[in-house]
Structure 1
Amino acid sequence: MGIGSSVALALAAAFAVIVLTFGIARWRGRYDTIDSAWGAGFAVIAVTGFATEPRGIGSALVVTVLTAVWGLRLSAHIHLRNSAHGEDRRYREMYARARSRPQLRMFARVYLTQAAVMWFVSLPVVAAQHQPDSFGVLGVLGVAVWCVGFAFEAIGDEQLRRFKADPANAGEVLDTGLWRYTRHPNYFGDACVWWGLYLIAAQHLPGALAVLSPLLMTWLLARGSGKPITERHLAGNRPGYADYVARTSGFFPLPPKKR
């Protein structure tokens, strides 16, 4: 299978995941189901691509395993977190604003958009699955960056989960652990994961051309639907958040500023 066919297959896999997720969302009566399926969708794309383009223990296998591990952990974490609460208010508000054919509008504006982003961000994985069965210095560097990102994301998520589970922390701001050095260790880690996968793909020209994929993911996390929306919400219901913002890096981990 040529790389063009694999790109088309990745798009079909992303669309299939989104259609199935939308059906489950309607059955559950919760449109935030898309958040739970987000990471798993990347895993499906990676595994589908590897199954149709089998290679040895080179870049193809490495990016497939790394993508699946990251995606399945993220989906499990988000599903467990969201299941303990009602539906995310963002989706309730979007549904309420769509007065005419709300279900169709949710599918078109939310779910299809997620499918397109999922497919585009996955392009380095698709490219890496077509590389020769070899692994060079750039590939090793990519794995190292992925490991840093995965650690930041997983540890940051667990620290936040434990913080929220303690009733004594209600209304407080988490500023210890990784959260002492960046206000969003999970988002920073997510970006590193995709830059690591890109570096593995960049060992050869087709993969190197997919640089817009990690750039898009990083923009979404730091400037799009990630960090800005989270911070607007926290600024409104956490009295100490403004001081936390003043002394803590917004994205890249840095020592806290002295006040």
Structure 2
Amino acid sequence: MKMLWVVWLYAAVIMTWGWWWQRRHQNIGVVDVLWAKGVGASALLLALLGDGAAMPRIALAVLGGLWGSRLALHLWHRVRSEPEDGRYQHLRKHWNGHQGKIFGFFQFQALLIVLFALPFVAVSVNPEAHGWGWVIAAVAMWLLSVGGESLADRQLARFRADPANKGKTCRDGLWRYSRHPNYFFEWLHWFTYVLLAVQSPLWWLAWSGPLVMYVFLRWVSGIPFTEAQALRSRGEDYREYQRTTPMLFPWFPSRSSSARKESAP
């Protein structure tokens, strides 16, 4: 587990830089960029430092690195082209702009990078060099999840780019079947490393990825904060969206309350 100290040191350094950057630019949203960058980099670090077979470590480096790079670039574009995310505006206001608390928040994210690196540890010590079937399954899972998340991100960006949609809720494409399709595919992505760690002596560590990600998305920093901000900014339109559309796992939407009233005898 000494490898995790290297991950933590790297994460603490980039989050310190991120805190300085947000203080200068008044945008806490950079923390999300650095979280994605940090987790992706930890996949590369652990693949390099691990003593397992080459094949699963190469797969870890490629898949984890590409995932982190894509997500970090997507979030960086949002940070640079849009005002500070409403969630972070609310947090800054709640803390009265207290830089000590904001610094602590950034360093907490550094610890989360270490937590989400645990599945990579399991893969990095996997001694199995001939598990091509599991690697193929992991690649398929990665393509499905990262492709789905990318599609959801593009659909939302296209919707937001239209000024006529200001104050409205996106119901296009995947957003018709889930209020958070990007979060769903992000959660699904973590099963990639479960598959890569099937024959590892630390295979159970790989399950921390989907488990912890689900807990954070469902109850901690994902859905609760996002939906609270959506209700503040979109009000009744978003409440109707909540009533008709599944929260996380995609499924067909139910009828709106207005449609039910119209069909009532």
> How far did 1:124 drift?
0.8
TM (norm. structure 1) is 0.88
Report the Cα distance in structure 1 between the residues aligned to 2:175 and 2:89, rounded to whole angstroms.
29
Say if 2:179 and 2:248, in contact at 8 Å, map to a contact too.
yes
Report the Cα distance in structure 2 between the residues aligned to 1:163 and 1:96, rounded to whole angstroms.
28
Matched, 1:230 2:248: no
> How far did 1:96 drift?
4.5
Report the Cα distance in structure 1 between the residues aligned to 2:107 and 2:61, rounded to whole angstroms.
24
> How far did 1:60 drift?
0.7
Q: Give the partner amino acid of 1:131.
A: N
Unaligned segments of structure 2, at least 5 residues: 257-265
> How far did 1:119 drift?
0.8
Say if 1:61 and 1:129, in contact at 8 Å, map to a contact too.
no
TM (norm. structure 2) is 0.86
Match of 1:32 among 29, 32, 38: 29
Query: Structure 1 pair 98/247, CA: closer, same or farther in 2 (3 Å)?
Result: closer
Report the Cα distance in structure 1 between the residues aligned to 2:153 and 2:107, rounded to whole angstroms.
27
Unaligned segments of structure 1, at least 5 residues: none
Please list, as runs of the form range in 1=range in 2, the aligned pairs for 1:140-155 lying within 5 A after superposition.
Answer: 140-155=136-151
Say if 2:47 and 2:120, in contact at 8 Å, map to a contact too.
no
> How far did 1:115 drift?
0.9
> How far did 1:54 drift?
7.3
Matched, 1:167 2:150: no
Q: Give the partner amino acid of 1:38.
A: W
RMSD in angstroms over aligned alpha carbons?
Answer: 2.3
Match of 1:193 in 2: 189
Say if 1:14 and 1:118, in contact at 8 Å, map to a contact too.
yes
Report the Cα distance in structure 1 between the residues aligned to 2:50 and 2:85, rounded to whole angstroms.
38
Say if 1:13 and 1:48, in contact at 8 Å, map to a contact too.
no
Report the Cα distance in structure 2 between the residues aligned to 1:103 and 1:12, rounded to whole angstroms.
21
Of 62-71 and 134-143, the range deviating more from structure 2: 134-143
Report the Cα distance in structure 1 between the residues aligned to 2:253 and 2:87, rounded to whole angstroms.
31
Q: How many residues align?
A: 254
Query: Structure 1 pair 57/15, CA: closer, same or farther in 2 (3 Å)?
Result: same
Q: Give the partner amino acid of 1:255.
A: F
- Secondary structure of 2:171's counterpart equals coil
Say if 1:22 and 1:111, in contact at 8 Å, map to a contact too.
yes
